[in-house]
Amino acid sequence: MSLLAAEGGGGFVAPGLEEFFPAVFLFEGTGFDINRIILVRILATLVLLLFLWLALRKATLVPGRIQSVVEMAFDFVRKDIAYGMLGKKDGDRFFPLIASLFFGILALNVTGIVPFLNISSNALIGMPLVMALVVYVVMIGAGIKAKGGLAYLKGELFPAGVPKPMYILVTPIEIVSTFIARPVSLTLRLTFNMLVGHLLLVLCFAATQFFFFEVGGISAGFGVLTLIGGFAFTLFEILVAVLQAYIFALLAAAYIQLSVAEDH
């Protein structure tokens, strides 16, 4: 029996993009519509805030286990990302933004492998786009504040050391790479990684259910393989969730550094 059999024929139907457009169940038509993905986004945010509050509300000089884990995570973001890309002075200045991006993205990514949630809201382009635009505005604002408006634009569009006739080619490339490619790449990298990961997980576990409960018999052996594949992809998605949060925060710091640097 074909895995891609038509739904009407009772066969297995592979997951599609409709997974990311669930029905609205609250406040429909009000502009504050809530569907399953929005609910997951709200829950992830509340759980993250509650966890950090519980872990740090009674912080002590000799931290307990939970406080130690949280402090180690913040220390990692501060030293490996903020200080590593921006130095201590600018690293401290932009640390709140970078930490918010890292932990916020991580929380929204992890929901993709949490039972009964099973989807990351970062698999829809809206949330990654908002975060990329925040980085974009901060990047430009930091450059203008550090150098002045005209000096910032001159440095970005007319790099020092380039022969003036070459600006005919270089300047359009700089416009695209600095002001278009950076926010677009931030958005699409995060969105596509979480989207593909969700589809792979749904495919594996839906196929497992199909082989075990609808086909049965000898074909159930294929269900064992898809179940093992599902668990393997789950472990891989945990790695991807952390890695994508790290990459997004690291690139955000790198873009800000490029804006405030004297020469690049």
Q: List pLDDT tens digits, range 28-83.
A: 888 888 999 999 999 999 999 999 999 988 888 888 888 999 999 999 999 999 99
The 3-state DSSP class for residue 34 equals strand
Q: Angle 126-147/84-110 helices, nearest 10 degrees? A: 160
Give 34's strand partners. 26
The pLDDT value given to residue 4: 40
The pLDDT value given to residue 1: 36
The pLDDT value given to residue 100: 97
Q: What is the C-alpha R_g of the chain?
A: 23
The 3-state DSSP class for residue 23 equals coil
Residues of the chain with pLDDT under 70: 1-11, 216, 263-264
The pLDDT value given to residue 6: 37
Nearest partner of 38 among 134, 111, 106, judged by Cα = 111
The pLDDT value given to residue 264: 52
Residue 187: how many other CB atoms lie within 10 Å: 23
pTM of the model: 0.89
The pLDDT value given to residue 11: 66
The pLDDT value given to residue 51: 94
